[in-house]
Structure 1
C-alpha cells in the first residue's frame, strides 16, 4: 500500500530543542478517498514555511492569494479571488477533526482561517470537509503551531482558538501544555489589539493551569463578567466532538475568552494590568 504524504511542514528551526506539545502524528490507515485528498488538495491549501535565521515575518493574509482552489464544471472557484481583501485572519491551534474550523469558515466567508494540526488523520478529516463544502478560506499548517506563530508579523491575527487541547494530565508532562508563558508571549505579539483568545477545556487541572498563566500575563484581559460567561459556550462557536464527549460523560466544559490588551502608545509605558 502506498503511504500518503505527510502534511507540509517546515524544516526544524536551528535553535535549541523545544517543548513537544503534541502526541502521535498518525493513527489508523487512511481510506482511499482521504489519501487522494492528502495527495491532491493538501498541497494546494497546506502551508510550508522557510526556516532559519533572517526569514522575514509574514502577513498571514498573504497565504490566501486568490489562486484557484477548486474547479467546478471547468470554472475555477476561489472566494479569495471573488472577494478580496479578507476582513480578518483567525487561527485555530489543534483543530482535531476540523468540525469547528470548517463550520466557522462556512459561516464567515469573508474571514481567512488557518488551522494547525500535526495529526495526519485530523488533517485528512478537515480536507474532506473543505472538499465537500468547497471552502476556499482555509489554509492548513501540519506541524507545531508555534513554528507558524513565530513567523507571523505583529498584530495580524484577530482571533485565536485553543479548544479542548490535550491536557497532558500527568505532572511530568505538564510542560507540554500549549498554554504557557512562552506561547502567550508569542500570541500577544501576533494578535491585534482587542483580538480574542478563546480557550476551552473539560479538564479541571488544565483549567487552573491556563487561568493562572493567562491572568498573570499582562498582554491579556479576561472579559468574563458573570458565571455564564465561562459556563456557556459562546453563541457563535460551534460545538466540537470533544465537547460532546465531555457532556456525554456528565462533565461541563469551561469556556474562557481573553482579550488582547491594547499596546502602549509609542513613548508611553504600559500600565500594569493589576494596579
Structure 2
C-alpha cells in the first residue's frame, strides 16, 4: 500500500509534442528480495524485458517473441503474476506482455515463468501507457487490469489508471472484438470504471445479467490478492468490455 506523500516517478526530460509523461505512483519495491529472487529477476529481465521505443516509433508486439504467436495479450500491473502466468500456460500460442513497475511483483512473475518453463511472456518494468502508445492499431486481442490501486481519496482519483485518455490508448491498441477485462474488490472503483467506460465510444459492456460480473469466468484464473479480498469478506466484480 502506498502513502499519500509518495509522488509519481515522471520523465525528467522535456517531452516532444504528443509524447506521454512517465507516471508511476507509489513505491517501486517492498521487502528486500532474497538471493534466489534477485538472481531470477536479473536473469529474467535480461531475457524477457521489453524496451519502449522512441516516441513515434511503432513496435509490432508479435516481433517480441522468439516464435510466431497467433495473438498478443497485455496485462497492466500484474501484481504477483499468478494470472498472467496461468493464462500464458493455458494459451501457449498467444504472446503475453506484462507491465509492472513494482520490483517484488516482477520477481514473482519471473519465478512463475521460470518454474513453468514459459517462452511466451515478455515484461515491461515501467508505465504501461508508454508501451500502449507505441503499439500499432488493433495489435492486441485482450488487455487486463486486475485489482489496480483504487486510490480511494478524492484528491487522488486522477491517479487511477482508468481514465478517458488511457481508455483511448487501449481502444487504439485493441482489435475490433477484443476484450478489456477489469477486476476490483472496491465497489467505488467499479462504479468509477463503469462511469468512465460506458460512455466511451469504443467499448461495450458485455454483461447481460448480474452473474456476468459477480462470478469470475472459467477462463479467468484467480490471483493471490483476489483470494485475500474474498477471505476478508470483500466480493470482487469482474467486468468485460468488448472493443466495438
Q: 1:45 to 1:56 in 2, by over 3 A?
A: same
Q: Compute the TM-score of the two structures, normalised by the length of structure 1.
A: 0.81
**2-structure distance, mates of 1:12, 1:112:** 32
Deviation of the 1:215 alpha carbon: 0.1
Q: Which whole-Å deviations, capped at 9, do the CAs of 1:184-234 have from their partners, x for residues lacking one?
A: 011110100000000001111111110001101000000111110000011
1:22 is displaced (CA, Å) by: 3.2
Q: CA deviation at 1:12?
A: 6.2
User: 1:13-28 counterparts in 2 under 5 A?
Assistant: 14-15=15-16, 18=21, 20=23, 22-28=25-31
Instruction: Show the 5 A alignment for 1:192-207.
Output: 192-207=175-190
| 4+ residue runs over 6 A deviation | 10-13
Specify whether residues 255 and 193 from structure 1 end up closer, same or farther in structure 2 by C-alpha distance, changes over 3 A only. same
Map 1:43-58 → 2, pairs under 5 A:
43-52=46-55, 55-58=56-59
1:109 aligns with 2:92: yes
**Cα deviation digits, residues 229-273 of structure 1 (max 9, x gap):** 000011101111121111101111101000000xxxxxxxxxxxx
1:260 aligns with 2:240: no
Q: Higher Cα Rg: structure 1 or 2?
A: 1
State the Cα distance separating 1:50 from its structure 2 match.
2.6
Instruction: Tell me how far apart the structure 2 counterparts of residues 251 and 106 of structure 1 sit (CA, whole Å).
Output: 28
Which residue of structure 2 lines up, in the alignment, with residue 176 of structure 1? 159
Aligned residue for 2:33?
30
Count of paired positions: 232
2:205 aligned with 1:222 = yes
Deviates further, 142-151 or 41-50: 41-50
**Conservation of the 8 A alpha-carbon contact between 1:89 and 1:113:** yes
Distance 1:13 1:114, change over 3 A: farther
Q: CA 1:151–1:232 in structure 2 vs 1: closer, same or farther (change >3 Å)? A: same
Query: 1:13 and 1:59 mapped to 2: Cα distance?
Result: 26
1:136 maps to 2:119 = yes
1:6-47 CA distances to partner (integer Å, 9 max, x unpaired)?
Answer: xxxx99672588483532101111111111112222111011
